[in-house]
Structure 1
Amino acid sequence: MACRSAADISETSPVAAAYDWSGLYAGVHFGYVAGKSNLFIAGAGVGGTDVNVPLDPSGFIGGVHIGVNQELANRFVLGAEADLAYNNVDGLGTFTGAGALLKSELKWSGSARLRAGYAFDRILPYITAGVDAAKYEMSVITTGPGGSIPIHDETHLGWTVGAGVEHAFTDRWIARVEYRYSDFGKKDISIPLLGPGTVANVDLKTHDVRAGLSYKF
């Protein structure tokens, strides 16, 4: 029997193809949000001073995402993604001048973003940026007969940036970890308790860390 040389074996052995990130995918994610929010009311403090009440909502989120990637010949990966999350995120602040508590709740959030990364075979570190939106509610909680009085219930629009890494542990299933910073902007609000013409607004920013699982079609 003729012996095959190492060169012959090398020429006939199959070479594993690199993973291709191109295609449509969808999945689920969950995570934790730490928010920064401030309620500003002009002239509502003692002696007519301005009031700034930190609310800082925090809590857990869970949602879905869908996106598409295109891997280029140089291993750069470009894509677009949208996500929507239900939020169990809230915070409390003390409105000293009115002798009441303020409760803030982030009900849902979502974004539409572009992504860019570089593929190391089955590992894809990436950056992402785009527009986002969030439903933000606020109520005054009093000890009197009024109970909980809604003072803000609007959708905030803003922007988001972040970075993450994905790992394709099979040809179809992809795990990810991602960090995002979002600025949902500032909204003017009306507080009937303080009378008409009172200048007041509330802003919202969030830091969140998410883990997710996607299926590539």
Structure 2
Amino acid sequence: MKTILLATALVLAPVGLASAADISEGSPVAAYDWSGLYAGVHFGYAAGKSNLFIGAAGIGGTDINAPLDPSGFVGGVHIGFNQELANSFVLGAEADLAYSNVDRVSTFEGAGALLKTESKWSGSARLRAGYAFDRTLPYITAGVAAAKYEVTVVTTGPGGTIPIHDETHLGWTAGAGVEHAFTDKWIASVEYRYSDFGKKDLSVPIFGLGTVSTVDLKTHDIRVGLSYKF
């Protein structure tokens, strides 16, 4: 009797293993779902391109083009929402706000003074589009951007420190990045963005009425971030 039972078990064992394998193959692990609300923090480095232009009308026939070019670290918060489609495309929207330590002190050629420039904060509201490779999501992004930009003339004479520009610039931003969900809730990212915050007139004209004087600001940003998916 024991011999018969042992023989039966040996015959049925391969059948049982095959059935288990079939069940396993029929129940694949579910792919990661990018849909949902998320929020997090980010930090990085911004290299700015900025130019102070003062027209010739008020200063004896010579235009002034002074490069300002602030740079430095940025850090802030972001919040967004993704919707993954059936074809693995992911569409979303994101907003961010960052404190900026983006500044520079340069020589104001011909004026015997220094120019101190500083971007105090920046932010954006953007659309995003990407393609999900399970837990990895490369994407592109674009939208509107704003930044608070200050320019100050620093002299050693009686004038001292003279603020000549303190305005919020409004422009656009575009870039690309990649995210990876290393757990179901935590997502790491790296992103490059180019932002053009436009050109504005100086808040305080330097050389009398009728002089055209403007300042612009553009930045190249590299940021890394950490998000929590709700």
> How would you bin the TM-score normalised by the shorter chain?
over 0.9
Equivalent residue in structure 2 for 1:11, among 8, 22, 30: 22
1:8 alignment partner, SS class: helix
* Structure 2 portions without partners, runs of 5+: 1-8
What are the Cα deviations for residues 101-135 of structure 1, in whole angstroms up to 9, with x where unaligned? 11110000000000000000000000000000000
Matched, 1:107 2:120: yes
The number of residues matched between the two structures is 217
Please give the residue correspondences for 1:61-210 in structure 2 after superposition, counting only pairs within 5 Å.
Answer: 61-210=74-223
Normalised by the length of structure 1, the TM-score is 0.96
2:133 alignment partner, SS class: coil
What are the Cα deviations for residues 181-209 of structure 1, in whole angstroms up to 9, with x where unaligned? 00000001154442222110001000000
Structure 2 distance, partners of 1:192, 1:75, is: 54
Bigger mean CA deviation after superposition, 97-106 or 22-31: 97-106
Percent identity, please: 78
* Structure 1 portions without partners, runs of 5+: none
Q: What amino acid is aligned across from residue 13 of structure 2 in structure 1? A: C
Task: Give the superposition deviation at 1:155.
Answer: 0.4
1:177 alignment partner, SS class: strand
Normalised by the length of structure 2, the TM-score is 0.90
- Tell me how large the CA RMSD over aligned residues is: 1.5
Task: Give the superposition deviation at 1:77.
Answer: 0.2
Q: Which portions of structure 1, spanning 4 or more consecutive aligned residues, are displaced by more than 6 angstroms?
A: none
Structure 1 distance, partners of 2:138, 2:228, is: 18
1:48 alignment partner, SS class: coil
Structure 2 distance, partners of 1:89, 1:131, is: 20
Distance 1:194 1:47, change over 3 A: closer
Aligned to 2:5: none
Structure 2 distance, partners of 1:82, 1:201, is: 28
Matched, 1:24 2:34: no
Q: What amino acid is aligned across from residue 117 of structure 1 in structure 2? A: G
Structure 1 distance, partners of 2:182, 2:57, is: 57
What are the Cα deviations for residues 134-169 of structure 1, in whole angstroms up to 9, with x where unaligned? 000000000012221100000000000000000000
Structure 1 distance, partners of 2:187, 2:58, is: 53
Whose helix proportion is higher, 1 or 2?
2
The answer as to whether partners of 1:45 and 1:51 remain within 8 angstroms in 2 is no
